[in-house]
Amino acid sequence: MGAISAAGNGAQALWRAARDGSPCISQLDETRFPRARIKHAALIREDITQLLGDAATKLDRFAQLALLAAREAVEQADAEARLAGMKTAVIVGSGLGGAETINRLTDAHSAGEVRVDPLTVPKVMASAAASAIATRYGVHGPVFCISSACASGSQAVGIGMQMIRSGAVDRAIVGGSEALITPAVLRGWEVMRVLTPDRNRPFSADRNGMMLGEGAGIVVLESAALAKAQGKRPIAWLSGYGTACDAGDLLKPDAQWAAEAMKRALSDAALKPADVGYVNAHGTGTVLNDVAEAAALGDTFGDHLDGLPVSSTKPVHGHTIAAAGAIELIITVNALREQFVPPTINWTAEDPRCRMDVVANTGRPHGFSAAMSNSFAFGGINTSLLVEMAAE
């Protein structure tokens, strides 16, 4: 597993922040965002171009983040020597692609500049992150981008698993990356009135919006047969994937189809609701999302929901849009490995419409063998992933 986020460079930095409930929120630079109404976001403070060296010059920020996260995941998997060729897939989700490059291009055009970056178009492509990873590791198998807003990273993971199961590939480098916090894009979010002006507090009665973030999460999936042949114990088993579309309003979520995604993931993993011991919720902190997700969880888990710990880690690392599903899957896997449920920080009071075991403000030790991670997107695209403890 590899990640870079507002918590720092590395999957462990991400996990420590989520586990400890340490918010990684920064004030926006007023010289760059002079007219912004929202004044904060979960920004990466590391100089990522320095971390990447020469490779950074040919890539937009979102692809740079993906390449850094992939490097950590591949090193941890000790898989670099086995990636080249046709039996590896690279699937990386992105919602907006090269937002930073688009911002520079429009600024230059508005200023009347004639010379612009000749790599503008390849930097902007949403598939640039997947292609950069494939180029780095010599992957000639299926390489593509999933662009389904906030479900992109989760769908990339699920499709990678399906390709391995089908025999099309033996392994897959999958996840999501996003770096869209630019002045123009931020304004687009502001006018939707879904961003919090103060603190992100999912499922709390006084919640008032989400907090944007940037980052990347990448995982390396390998088949069980490969793991056994190499004598390796997996970090965890990815056992279930479910997806369903509301096919309704582009913005207003429909609990029925979020529940369907969860039920399909359970069926895919051959698990019962009572087998799941933790849910990492999508939990954006908007009024509509949290109510719909709570209803969908109730539909899916029934009476089991009363004792099922649920948390959203977005107040810590921000809502990273296409990267959210992969970043939160990494947190979910670490929660499973450490048998510890991370908290939903900033929670103040129960919303009667979100009655469930929200792990509020302080994480807790908890014994469980399977966990669910949810990602629900604009456009009504709902995705759920299930992970299980790897057997000794």
Active-site amino acid positions = 150, 282, 319
Whole-number Å distance between alpha carbons of 263 and 42:
32
Count of CB atoms situated within 10 Å of the CB of 366: 16
Q: Which two tokens mark 216?
A: 């990347």
Q: Which two tokens mark 165?
A: 């199961």
User: Please, how many CA atoms are within 13 Å of residue 233, restricted to the half-sphere of its CB?
Assistant: 6
Note the Cα 272 to chain centre separation in Å: 25
End-to-end alpha carbon distance in the chain: 19
User: Is the four-CA dihedral 317, 235, 80, 85 of positive or negative sign?
Assistant: negative
Query: E strands, the chain, where?
Result: 2-5, 8-9, 26-27, 40-41, 88-93, 143-146, 171-178, 215-222, 236-245, 278-280, 309-311, 340-341, 357-358, 364-365, 370-377, 381-389
The residue among 333, 392, 343, 331 whose CA lies nearest residue 368 is: 333
